[in-house]
Amino acid sequence: MQARRNTAASAGAAVFIADLRADAARRAAEAAERSRQILEEEQAKDDAWRCRTLAAIEAGPATPTLDMAVARASYDERWAQLDEEAATTAADLAPLHYSDVPWPLEPPTVPWGVRGSREVPAGPSLAPTVEMLRDFFLLGATGAPDVKRRLRIELLRWHPDKFGARFGRRLAAAGMAQRDAVVARVHQVAQVLMQVLGRGAIGTHEG
């Protein structure tokens, strides 16, 4: 009698363990299937984005909108001025205010050439979208090498550590409120720029 009970108990335990293993295997298979579907969906989104970007660069705007073209020209001109100032020792201690920074897709708060505005924005402006920033930085790009060169220039400009190393003393001279507003905005731009790079804008267009 006891032997039969032991045999029945062993059989029941074996069935229970088999059920647990089968359930674990089923759950693992379901998780693997979900992961595969998510990966395929994300890959499809990424492929579609790459195709749209490649087509936009290869086709190029026949006549870019005047506002975008003017904004880009102003942006480049203001950065040229800031780079020139950074090369002089005297400018190293001159205050750098929020309005002095050539923000992409953000109109200057004072006329170009008027320095030292003490106006501090109530909060950092909304960061431009990945698509807006990509289109702005790549406006007029002539091919893969040019795309790569442009994005690397912007990455060096807006990397928070590099920006702080170049302009930290000037931001400090402008005061804490100005410095904090600039630093917050630089981080916003850098984050969106990293998304542009992360979506393969460089690798997609390399020859």
Identify which has the larger pLDDT, 110 or 138: 138
Give the pLDDT confidence score for residue 158 in this predicted structure: 96
This prediction has a pTM of: 0.59
Alpha helices in the chain (DSSP H): 2-59, 66-86, 130-137, 144-158, 160-174, 176-198, 201-205
Cα gap 190→20, rounded to integer Å: 49
Give the model confidence (pLDDT) of 101-136 as tens digits: 999 987 655 444 444 455 555 444 555 678 888 889
Give the model confidence (pLDDT) of 144-154 as tens digits: 888 889 989 99
Q: Is the pLDDT of residue 34 over 90?
A: no
**Dihedral sign, Cα of residue 33, residue 35, residue 37, residue 40:** negative
